[in-house]
């Protein structure tokens, strides 16, 4: 970067703006750009859409921002020209100091706007528009629909959108919402927006980039930029990824004992799969005298920030977290990553593994402590996939009709009124805003969510009543979250708890477990949903409904079947893990076959079809085989319950009859409550959306195509 030899071609870095290049060399002290950063310069300077892929801590933010800032300076862009979008507010806060430094080198500014940003800061942003705005999709939506924001003026100079941790959006409804908002921004500014996605964990990068381009896919140049071959994330074999060890400990108490005794003097990050688990383990570690901090979504912002700052500055300590610290938030130099049980995806495991080994002279490492036999089998299957370099493809949830309904209402809020023949143009031809959306529009009109007059659409009284509280804030979030009580110790907010914990019968004082400490409830303010507490010695309980994730995938369950049949992941297994894994194989010796699925009648009663196909494929199979599936016992991740009177002949006949007639799973009408904006859809369309999302047609077909051994007679 100090200048090439006369006989050598200039590096891509030399194409960056000279002031920026000066600071990279002299302020940051970098002798050269990293591989991804070097490769990203030319396509991003050309204005191409791109997906930047590299391992965690590979400098993806700089790979995106340095060329974009160079374009900004060379083109003399004015106003807010770059949006930097993240899935988490904490990640935005964490990135802000770095981006503030980079923009200042060129005499530019950046700012942060999210749900915690104060009114005073927002007003300053509107007066003095920053060049780079760090934000979330929900905050962009709030700017578009707000009556106090001149969104046309605010976004007039917009040219580039960077989406960090893009895979975290693409796999759920926040991705559909993000795409819709980006199309509305494109329409608003009247020019294509360069879209740059950053990710460390995807199995289908080309598909993800096409998804990110939205309506512009196929019409704009696009590049997957990676330090590895396309489709890979990072070397995923144990030889290249440090030390991974699998252990079986059997209980939370044993897990706490192991963590407390291992690696004293080091900084350890422990991941749990639920908020309850974080609280339980945190309390046990604190009871053993371990300096412990907690992080999960139901802790207050101040509590999380305090813990993360203290953890970043400390050495001999542990922080226990849900997936809130899985993404790129900087918590300092970690020595160890510990996983309780197993995450549900290889992508998530890669993210967590990548939190370690960032300091020079250290390697990536992860110790998995499993609490039960199902978790041990799941962890072994996950590590088997990981060792093979396999990562889940990221796929958007199908048929997002409820997002279409939300977007039509949001557009009418944004514009005040929209022509009844013009509204679809705001999404530039992006599916699902096509002719199928007409059915949703008709329903919104019929139910009074929208009104039409003189060929114009505008918000109706039903939308005012259902979504209009607090300036339509309810309409801006894609997810439905159960109501929670804010827990206060004096004036200090500790976090939030599920109201079920405050209503169930109890003997003696009601105690809560939050932030790893026990609290005695002193007063409940039901109208304002506030719970006042004071410290208690012990006895607190933690509980959140709906905190568990969905079922396991087809690929993971198939890997678990391989483990049962004898495959062992090439990682370090403790003696107790190896011993318990052998016991699991013995328990399942009749439930898995290398060439067929198996139907068994266990000693406890009932008939089980061991598909090892995952929750969604089994839901599809149970619906397809409804004539012989047990309507009460249902299905799980590994098997489908069948009727007790099923015979081998009947089983064969039914399987043959449905081989080419796969049915979508049936959906309980009560499940629609979890689909936000389902009230703004015809019931049949809302049910069809959930049914499509519960299905795994490919997995179901693959299982039905295999031979089935009937041993239940």
Per-residue pLDDT at 651 exceeds 60: yes
Quick one: pLDDT at residue 229? 43
pLDDT for the residue numbered 477: 60
Q: What's the rounded Cα separation, in Å, for the pair 142 and 126?
A: 13
Find, among 325, 332, 321, the residue nearest to 266 by Cα: 332
Statement: residue 417 has pLDDT above 90: yes
Q: What is the mean pLDDT of residues 326-346?
A: 83
The total of other beta-carbon atoms located within 10 Å of residue 491's CB is 5
Please, what is the angle between helix 697-705 and helix 615-624, to 10°?
Answer: 70
467-518: pLDDT as tens digits: 765 545 655 565 545 567 888 888 888 888 877 677 666 677 888 889 888 8
Distance, CA of 584 to CA of 370 (rounded, Å): 13
Q: Rounded CA gap, 406 and 402, in Å?
A: 6
Which pLDDT band holds residue 9 (cuts at 50, 70, 90)?
very low
H/E run at residue 454: none
Q: What is the pLDDT of residue 88?
A: 84
Instruction: Check whether 115 has a pLDDT greater than 80.
Output: yes
Q: Is the pLDDT of residue 8 over 60?
A: no
* Enclosing H/E stretch for 605: none
DSSP string, 404-448: HHHHHHHHHHHHS-EETTTGGGGGTT-TTSSTTHHHHHHHHHHTT
Spell out a b/e string for 527-555, using b for 16 or more CB atoms within 10 Å of the CB, else e: eeeebbbeebeeebbbbbeebeeebbbbb
The pLDDT assigned to 236 comes to: 40
pLDDT at 7 over 90: no
Cis, peptide link before residue 170, omega less than 30° from 0? no
Q: Residues 209-221: what's their mean pLDDT?
A: 95
Mean pLDDT of the chain: 87
Residue 190, SS3 per DSSP: coil
Is the predicted pLDDT of residue 303 greater than 50, yes or no?
yes
Of 648, 626, 663, 650, residue with least CA distance to 709? 648
pLDDT confidence bin for 242, thresholds 50/70/90: low
Instruction: Report the pLDDT averaged over residues 244-262.
Output: 96
pLDDT in tens, 48-73: 999 999 877 789 999 999 999 999 99
CATH code for residues 12-226: 3.40.50.300
Task: Reduce the DSSP state of residue 700 to 3 states and report it.
Answer: helix
Residue 155 has pLDDT above 70, yes or no: yes
pLDDT of residue 669: 67
Residue among 450, 358, 362, 437 nearest 404 (CA): 437
Fill in the DSSP letter of residue 511: E
pLDDT band at 456 (very low <50, low <70, confident <90, very high): very high
Q: How confident is the model at residue 230 (pLDDT cuts 50, 70, 90)?
A: very low
Query: What's the whole-number mean pLDDT along residues 86-110?
Result: 93
Q: What pLDDT does residue 621 have?
A: 94
| Least confidently predicted of 10-24, 95-109, 372-386 | 10-24
Percent of the chain residues topping a pLDDT of 70: 89
E strands along 37-88, which residues?
49-53, 82-85
Q: In a 3-state reduction of DSSP, which class is residue 340? A: strand
What's the half-sphere exposure (Cβ side, CA atoms, 13 Å) at 687? 10
CA 401/CA 31 separation, integer angstroms: 51
Instruction: Give φ, ψ of 350 to 5 degrees.
Output: -60, -40
Place of tokens 């160079």: 70
DSSP 328: S
pLDDT value at residue 235: 35
**Bridge partners, 629 (sequence order):** 642
**At residue 547, does pLDDT exceed 50?**
no
Separation CA 225–CA 234 (nearest Å): 13
| 3 state SS of 690 | helix
Q: Is the pLDDT of residue 30 over 70?
A: yes
As its CATH architecture, domain 243-381 has: 3-Layer(aba) Sandwich (3.40)
- Assess whether pLDDT exceeds 70 at residue 695: yes
29-38, 43-52, 358-367, range with greatest mean pLDDT: 43-52
Structure tokens at 325: 């610290």
98-112, 515-529, 587-601, 684-698: segment of lowest average pLDDT: 515-529
Please give the C-alpha separations between residue 627 and each of 105, 596, 605, 633, in angstroms, as whole numbers.
69, 22, 19, 14
All residues at 6 or more sequence positions from 129 whose CB lies less than 8 Å from its CB, including other chains: 79, 80, 154, 157
Mean pLDDT on 600-608: 86
pLDDT number for residue 240: 41
| Six token digits for residue 121 | 């800061």
Domain residues of the chain, as ranges? 12-226, 243-381, 485-535, 590-710
pLDDT of 534 strictly over 50? yes
Give the contacts of 481 (CB within 8 A, at least 6 positions apart). Answer: none
Question: Tokens for 376?
Answer: 């041990």
Q: What integer pLDDT is reported at residue 360 of this predicted model?
A: 63
Task: Return the C-alpha torsion angle 467, 472, 476, 481, nearest 10.
Answer: -50
pLDDT at 549: 46
Matching fold, domains 12-226 and 243-381: yes
For the CA atoms of 604, 605, 607, 610, the dihedral, rounded to the nearest 10 degrees, stands at 0
pLDDT score at 504: 67
What is the reported pLDDT for 38?
94
């Amino acid at each position: 970067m100090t200048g090439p030899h006369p006989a050598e071609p200039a590096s891509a870095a030399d194409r960056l703006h000279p002031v920026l290049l000066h600071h990279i060399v002299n302020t940051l002290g970098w002798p050269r750009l990293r591989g991804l950063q070097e490769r990203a310069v030319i396509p991003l300077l050309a204005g191409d859409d791109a997906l930047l892929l590299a391992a965690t801590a590979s400098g993806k933010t700089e790979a995106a921002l340095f060329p974009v800032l160079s374009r900004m300076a060379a083109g003399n862009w004015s106003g807010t020209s770059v949006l930097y979008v993240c899935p988490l507010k904490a990640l935005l806060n964490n990135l802000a100091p770095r981006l503030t430094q980079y923009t200042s080198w060129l005499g530019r500014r950046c700012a942060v706007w999210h749900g915690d940003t104060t009114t005073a800061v927002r007003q300053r942003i509107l007066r003095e528009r920053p060049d780079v705005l760090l934000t979330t999709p929900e905050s962009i939506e709030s700017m578009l629909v707000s009556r106090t924001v001149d969104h046309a003026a605010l976004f007039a100079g917009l040219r580039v959108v960077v989406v960090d941790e893009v895979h975290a959006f693409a796999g759920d409804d926040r991705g559909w919402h993000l795409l819709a908002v980006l199309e509305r921004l494109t329409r608003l500014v009247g020019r294509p927006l360069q879209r740059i996605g950053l990710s460390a964990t995807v199995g289908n990068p080309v598909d993800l980039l096409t998804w990110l381009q939205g309506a512009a896919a196929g019409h704009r140049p696009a590049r997957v930029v990676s330090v590895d071959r396309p489709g890979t994330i990072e070397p995923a074999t144990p030889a290249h990824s440090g030390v991974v060890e699998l252990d079986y400990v059997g209980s939370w108490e044993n897990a706490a004992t192991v963590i407390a005794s291992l690696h004293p003097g080091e900084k350890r990050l422990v991941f749990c799969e639920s908020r309850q688990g974080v609280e339980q383990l945190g309390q046990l570690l604190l009871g053993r005298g371990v300096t412990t901090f907690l992080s999960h979504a139901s802790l207050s912002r101040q509590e999380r920030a305090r813990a993360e700052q203290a953890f970043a500055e400390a050495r001999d300590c542990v922080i226990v977290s849900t997936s809130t610290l899985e993404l790129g938030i900087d918590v300092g130099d970690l020595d160890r990553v510990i996983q309780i049980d197993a995450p549900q995806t290889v992508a998530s495991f890669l993210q967590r593994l990548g939190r370690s080994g960032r300091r020079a002279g250290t390697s990536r490492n992860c110790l998995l402590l499993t609490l039960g036999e199902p978790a041990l089998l799941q962890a072994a299957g996950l590590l088997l996939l990981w060792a093979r370099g396999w990562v889940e493809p990221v796929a958007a949830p199908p048929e997002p009709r409820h997002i279409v309904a939300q977007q039509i209402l949001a557009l009418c809020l944004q514009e005040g009124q929209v022509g009844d023949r013009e509204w679809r143009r705001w999404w530039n031809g992006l599916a699902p805003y096509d002719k199928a959306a007409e059915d949703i529009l008709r329903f919104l009109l019929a139910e009074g969510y929208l009104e039409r007059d003189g060929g114009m659409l505008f918000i109706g009284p039903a939308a005012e009543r259902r979504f209009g509280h607090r300036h339509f804030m309810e309409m801006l979030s894609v997810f439905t979250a159960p109501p929670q009580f804010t827990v206060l110790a004096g004036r200090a907010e500790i976090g939030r708890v599920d109201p079920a914990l405050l209503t169930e019968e109890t003997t003696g004082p009601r105690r809560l477990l939050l932030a790893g400490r026990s609290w005695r409830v002193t007063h409940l303010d039901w109208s304002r949903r506030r719970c006042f507490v004071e410290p208690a010695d012990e006895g607190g309980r933690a509980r959140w409904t709906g905190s568990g994730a969905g079922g396991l995938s087809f690929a993971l369950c198939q890997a678990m079947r391989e483990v049962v049949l004898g495959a062992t992941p090439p990682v370090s297994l403790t003696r107790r893990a190896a011993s318990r894994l052998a016991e699991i194989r013995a328990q399942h010796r009749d439930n898995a076959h290398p060439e067929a699925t198996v139907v068994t009648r266990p000693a406890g009663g009932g008939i089980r079809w061991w598909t090892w196909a995952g929750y969604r494929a089994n839901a599809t199979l149970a619906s397809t085989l409804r004539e012989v599936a047990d309507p009460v016992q249902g299905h799980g991740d590994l098997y489908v319950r069948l009727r007790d009177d099923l015979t081998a002949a009947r089983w064969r006949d039914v399987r043959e009859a449905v081989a080419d007639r796969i049915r979508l799973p049936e959906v309980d009408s009560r499940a629609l409550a979890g689909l936000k904006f389902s009230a703004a859809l015809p019931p049949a369309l809302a049910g069809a959306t959930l049914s499509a999302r519960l299905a795994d047609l490919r997995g179901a077909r693959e299982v039905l195509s295999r031979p089935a051994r009937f041993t239940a007679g």
